[in-house]
Amino acid sequence: MTKFRPLVSITALLATLQFSGLAFAESDVSIEEPAVSSEQGMSQDDGLLPLDDLRMFTKVYNHIRQGYVKDISDRELLEYAIKGMLAELDPHSSYLDSDRFAKLQVNTSGEFGGLGIEVGMEDGFVKVVSPMDDTPASRAGVQAGDLIIKLAGKPVKGMALSDAVELMRGPKGSEVVLTIIRDGVEQPFDLTLTRDTIKVASVRSRMLEPGYGYLRVAQFQGNTGDQVVEQIRKLKKDDPRLKGLILDLRNNPGGVLQASVAVADAFLEEGLIVYTEGRLRNGEQTYSAKPGDEIEDLPLIVLINEGSASASEIVAGALQDHRRAVIVGTDSFGKGSVQTVIPIAKDRAIKMTTALYYTPGGRSIQAQGIKPDIVVERAKVTAINPQLRTTEADLDGHLSNGNGGKENGSAERQANAEPALVETDNQLAEALNLLKGFTVFGERRLPKPAVASTAQRLGLAETHADAAQ
């Protein structure tokens, strides 16, 4: 057995720990070099490293290297020590090894090797929310509502969603087999997909109905603010008579702080958006809106739920405090802290909580979350569809439409029927109804337009005047 030799002396260990502080200097954290001998105690109150505790650390380190059942390299042990320090701070501080550091960069850049599927969990299986356009998933015929029961032959029942996503990602050109259950298909079937480079658009938009726009922000990446402005302008171009907008932040885990500021700024003319408080000199920051509301003070609804966290809560909180939007849904996650990523090597970093953020009204969201103005729980709603009934257009010898409009009989209605929004997404349906209510109420408060009488519209005003004489 090789006799244990200490990796470093106490003095060298102190130097190593001080060297790690160079990374903190980029965040304006200065670490004072201890000016004491190895025989002197180091006062924690003076900001110096505690020598007795460091001696205890080296003893534990010594015992592990000598007696642990398996041989572990010094590098691994030191990484374990770093991980342990950060893990004990809070749930959001962590050590990022090369793989995790790369994944973090992927999440903020929005580009990775994968299949192009937006997924969620249902009854323990991975459910396809939507295949992204022009991706391996859409080209292979994956459909919204599909349940993925196996990934690469591995059952997903009981698997964490993050683990399932990890199995779907991989190098461009590699293949993965998905076993799928689909409504209307009796047996599960396999689809073989070839991974490609996926560029995630963190923002999507569409018109729900004429005049009512929908904006979905899936996560906050570096360019999300620009994408939000771009999509709003696209909606206004598609429908110049835009009456209101729904901003969907449900299940948005957050992301880049500056991106959340940019999104909130898109709907505010002025005022504070968020401020942070921390121990570092740059930990106290304020972010304010610049002039220019992209939807020009039109009614705005923001959808949130328990999956809306961090940057999502910054946006919802700012718009709620400024009374710029009505928040609909359920209480948000409650993550009111800011993490700073500090590189400590070429491919490694630490993610450390450095500040708490507060809404313009001074609310700390930490461990509380944003409470919606109107609570709407997610629910399965089934519309009551009456049995097919005879309409006027079905009667023999019926008169044609007086304006020459197309007939709308029972057959046409059945052919054109679509699932009601309330059946597929009751929260979105409630938000749309609320948005319509704002519009109707606002229009009713406007001066009433002059309305011509029936006689005037028919050109009979003079005849009626003569008759009156």
Whole-number Å distance between alpha carbons of 129 and 143: 8
9 is a catalytic site residue? no
Asked whether residue 462 carries a pLDDT value surpassing 50, the answer given is no
> Which of 97, 239, 321, 331 is flagged as catalytic?
321
User: For residue 417, what is the enclosing H or E element?
Assistant: none
Q: What is the pLDDT of residue 109?
A: 60
Instruction: State the average pLDDT over residues 331-357.
Output: 92
Averaged pLDDT for residues 392-417: 79
Q: What DSSP designation does 44 have?
A: G
What are the residue ranges spanned by the domains of the chain?
Answer: 10-72, 111-199, 203-375
d(CA 55, CA 317): 47
154 is catalytic: no
The whole-angstrom separation of Cα 157 and Cα 216 is: 28
Pairing of strands 111-114, 337-343: unpaired
135/395 Cα distance (integer angstroms):
49
Question: Sorting pLDDT into bands at 50, 70 and 90, what band is 459?
Answer: low
CA angle 214/363/298 to nearest 5° reads 30
Contacts of 327 (CB under 8 A, 6+ apart): 302, 304, 316, 319, 320, 370, 371, 372, 373, 374
The 3-class secondary structure across 373-394, one letter per residue, is CEECCCCCCCCCCCCCCCCHHH
Residue 446 is predicted with a pLDDT of: 64
Question: How many angstroms separate the CA atoms of 34 and 48, rounded?
Answer: 6
User: Is 310 a residue of the active site?
Assistant: yes
Question: Which architecture characterizes domain 203-375 according to CATH?
Answer: Alpha-Beta Complex (3.90)
Quick one: pLDDT band at residue 368, thresholds 50, 70, 90? very high
3-state secondary structure labels for all residues of 246-305: EEECCCCCCECHHHHHHHHHCCCCCCEEEEEEECCCCCCEEEECCCCCCCCCCCEEEEEC
- Superfamily of segment(s) 111-199: PDZ domain (2.30.42.10)
C-alpha 292/C-alpha 220 separation (Å) is 21
What pLDDT, on the 0 to 100 scale, is given for residue 44? 47
Q: How far apart are CA 108 and CA 220, in angstroms?
A: 7
> Is the pLDDT assigned to residue 469 strictly greater than 80?
no
pLDDT of residue 429: 95
Q: Residue 440 in 3-state DSSP? A: helix
Half-sphere exposure (Cβ direction) of 397: Cα atoms closer than 13 Å: 0
Helix and strand tally (H, E) in the chain? 15, 19
Alpha-carbon distance of 209 to 342, in angstroms, equals 46
Q: What band does 69 get if pLDDT is binned at 50, 70 and 90?
A: very high
Task: Report percent pLDDT > 70 for the chain.
Answer: 81
> CA 331, CA 334: separation in Å to the nearest integer?
8
Q: Which uninterrupted H or E stretch holds 171? A: none
Of the candidate ranges 198-202, 215-219, 408-412, 444-448, the one whose mean pLDDT is the lowest: 444-448
What would you measure as the largest C-alpha separation in the chain, in angstroms?
Answer: 126
Question: Count of alpha carbons within 13 Å of 469, Cβ hemisphere only?
Answer: 5
If residue 203 lies in a helix (H) or strand (E), which one and from where to where? strand 203-209
Contact assessment for residue 316 and residue 370, using Cβ atoms and an 8 Å cutoff: yes
Q: Which residue has the tokens 């400024």?
A: 322
H or E segment at 311?
A: helix 311-321
Query: Coil, strand, or helix at residue 450?
Result: coil
* Most confident among 100-114, 128-142, 283-297, 335-349 (mean pLDDT): 283-297
Cβ atoms 328, 301 nearer than 8 A: yes
Distance CA 160, CA 147 (A): 15
Instruction: Please check whether residue 350 is in contact with residue 94, taking contact to mean a CB–CB distance below 8 angstroms.
Output: yes
Question: Can you read off the two tokens belonging to residue 279?
Answer: 């121990």
Half-sphere exposure of 189 (CA within 13 A, CB side): 11
Q: Given 94, 243, 248, 335, which residue is catalytic? A: 335
Q: Using CA atoms, how far apart are residues 108 and 256, in angstroms rounded to an integer?
A: 7
pLDDT digits (tens, 9 = 90+) for 300-327: 999 999 889 999 999 999 999 999 999 9
Of residues 30 and 414, more confidently modeled = 414
pLDDT in tens, 140-189: 999 878 999 999 999 998 887 778 888 998 889 999 999 999 988 989 99
Say what the pLDDT of residue 27 is. 26
Strand partners, 114: 196
Coil, helix or strand at residue 427? helix
Q: Of residues 308, 310, 312, 332, which has the active-site annotation?
A: 310
Range in 28-32, 114-118, 244-248, 434-438 the model is least confident about: 28-32
pLDDT for 30 beyond 50:
no
Q: Is the pLDDT of residue 46 over 90?
A: no
